[in-house]
Amino acid sequence: MALRLDGTDVSGFKFLFSLAVMYTKFITPLGIDAPLDRFSEARAIEHVRVLAHEIDGRQEGRQGLREAAEYIKAQLERLRERAGLNFRIEIEENVAGWSFNMMFLGHGISFGYRNYTNILLSTLTFDVPMSPKKALRAAMLKRRFANTILKAQKKALLDHVKFLAANNEKAKIEAQILAAEAAAKMKAEVELKKQREREIGAARIALQKYSHSRSKKHRSNSLRSSSQNSESSDTQELYLELRLSL
């Protein structure tokens, strides 16, 4: 029985083969014997194993802290030995101590560390003079790809200009939004002030009407009281005259 493959099957096999190549080349972790200029997961795990398993007791005041510092410094020294001519690597070692305070569940807690070893690595790169042959090669490459380099520089400059323009436009829009918000807030404050003035005016008019009504009622009561007092006086005088006549 013959196996027939159409164009779709061939494309699928090519895709799977490409994935296998990519996985083998880019995804598979590198072993401990990988080139030194490549990151090796196996070497990183080995460093972790040494620091976490072989060097035990790295609490404060124990010998493990010093052994861990010596191991790290030795690895950095090896890195400095493999560095190229255009790299300058400096390794410093110092002893530090510090403390800090914190609040936990309403209680003050203080932590202090003394005689901790810090290993510092600093790198500096600089240009190394090239030989005439390499300088000629670099010049030829620059001349060959001059247009590409120029286009890339123009594109980078254009992107930078667009970025600045976008930032300026964004700042302008934000300023307009802030101005509109300030104007709306000011308008609302003016409307609120007018509303309060209208309410105060209405309350003043109502108070005046109430005061006028009270005053009018008071005058009416005063007149009625005077009339009653006058009638009472006349009645008393008439009663007195009748008594005298009798």
State if pTM tops 0.75: no
DSSP labels, 140-192: HHHHHTHHHHHHHHHHHHHHHHHHHHHHHHHHHHHHHHHHHHHHHHHHHHHHH
* Range among 157-161, 225-229, 230-234, 236-240 with highest mean pLDDT value: 157-161
Residue 98, in any domain of the structure: yes
Whether the per-residue pLDDT at 224 is higher than 70: the answer is no
- Give residue-wise pLDDT tens across range 19-49: 666 655 556 778 888 887 788 888 889 988 9
Clarify whether residues 113 and 185 are in a common domain: no
- Give residue-wise pLDDT tens across range 90-122: 888 887 777 778 777 878 887 777 777 888 888
Nearest to 82 by CA among 25, 137, 43: 43
Residue reference for tokens 């307009």? 176
Residue 44, in any domain of the structure: no
- Domain around 113: 55-127
Clarify whether residues 142 and 121 are in a common domain: no
Task: Round to whole Å and give the CA distance between 183 and 172.
Answer: 16
Indicate the average pLDDT of the chain. 75
**Axis crossing angle, helix 132-144 with helix 146-245, rounded to the nearest 10:** 60
Question: In the chain, how many domains are there?
Answer: 2
